């Protein structure tokens, strides 16, 4: 019970991140009879998309959603004073997993060299490279080893979200809502705005005592 109480947030995030995976699994066929092969289920796409386009859409959409969610945690803490390291860690891992999956689907369908054929692909590729060290250092052991450098390393996530937004903007996908959320988050982080929210939060806390 103690484990569940301490890690319920992490578990909820993990379940939310894993659930859409079942949609993707229903869109592919894995064959082990003659070695190993993966084929797409024909007609599994929707909204006029092919199966491959749908795989791109789902994996990319959830990658940017989780990335945006991670960056909203600090503004939520500033406004409400609520934070949870385990939830942040789980969201960061979910972001990386969905981003890696998106990139793997691209590699299987298009090949590695296609990564450098367009600027938006290059932006996405650099974002993936940034997420690799963030993914492998999202644990307490890395925090102890890196100490102050851990936060500096994790701050690279801001570059990753910028490149990811640039990636989807150039692909003309739905991006405005994510840009607005991230933009508001950065405004709330500004010292002058942050201090006002903290003062309001402290006043509310005192008034409820």
Question: What average pLDDT score do residues 69-81 get?
Answer: 84
Cβ-proximal residues to 19 (8 Å cutoff; 6+ apart), any chain: none
The string of pLDDT tens digits covering residues 122-164 is 999 999 999 999 989 887 888 888 888 888 888 888 899 889 8
* pLDDT of residue 73 exceeding 60: yes
pLDDT for res 172 = 67
pLDDT for res 99 = 93
In a 13 Å sphere around the CA of 165, the CA atoms on its Cβ side amount to 17
> How high does pLDDT run on average in the chain?
82
Global pTM reads 0.84
Q: Which two tokens stand for residue 58?
A: 């789902």
Question: What average pLDDT score do residues 33-44 get?
Answer: 73
- The answer to whether 138 and 89 are in contact (CB under 8 A) is yes
Q: What is the CA radius of gyration of the chain?
A: 20
Question: What average pLDDT score do residues 176-205 get?
Answer: 83
pLDDT for res 130 = 93
Percent of the chain surpassing pLDDT 70: 89
pLDDT for res 3 = 52
Residue 106 burial (CB < 10 Å; 0-12/13-18/19+)?
buried
Q: Identify which has the larger pLDDT, 70 or 39.
A: 70
Angle at 97 between CA 164 and CA 10, to 5 degrees: 110
How many other CB atoms are there within 10 angstroms of residue 93's CB atom?
A: 20
With residues binned 3-state (H G I as helix, E B as strand, rest as coil), the percentages for the chain, rounded to 5, are 75, 5, 20
Among candidates 111, 138, 143, which has minimal Cα distance to 125?
Answer: 111
């Amino acid at each position: 019970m103690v484990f569940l109480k301490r890690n319920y947030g992490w578990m909820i995030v993990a379940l939310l991140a894993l659930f859409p995976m079942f949609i993707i699994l229903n869109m592919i066929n894995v064959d082990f009879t003659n070695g190993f092969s993966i084929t797409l289920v024909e007609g599994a796409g929707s909204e006029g998309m092919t199966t491959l386009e749908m795989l791109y859409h789902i994996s990319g959409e959830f990658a940017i959603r989780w990335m945006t969610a991670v960056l909203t945690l600090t503004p939520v803490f500033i406004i409400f004073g609520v934070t949870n390291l385990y939830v942040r860690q789980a969201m960061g891992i979910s972001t990386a997993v969905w981003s890696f999956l998106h990139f793997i689907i691209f590699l299987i369908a298009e090949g590695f060299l296609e990564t450098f054929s367009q600027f938006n692909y290059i932006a996405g590729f650099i974002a993936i490279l940034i997420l690799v060290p963030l993914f492998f250092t999202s644990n307490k052991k890395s925090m102890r080893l890196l100490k102050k450098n851990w936060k500096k390393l994790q701050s690279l996530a801001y570059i990753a979200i910028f490149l990811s937004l640039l990636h989807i903007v150039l692909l003309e996908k739905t991006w405005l809502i994510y840009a607005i959320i991230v933009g508001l988050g950065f405004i709330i982080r500004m010292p002058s705005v942050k201090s006002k929210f903290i003062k309001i939060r402290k006043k509310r806390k005192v008034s409820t005592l």
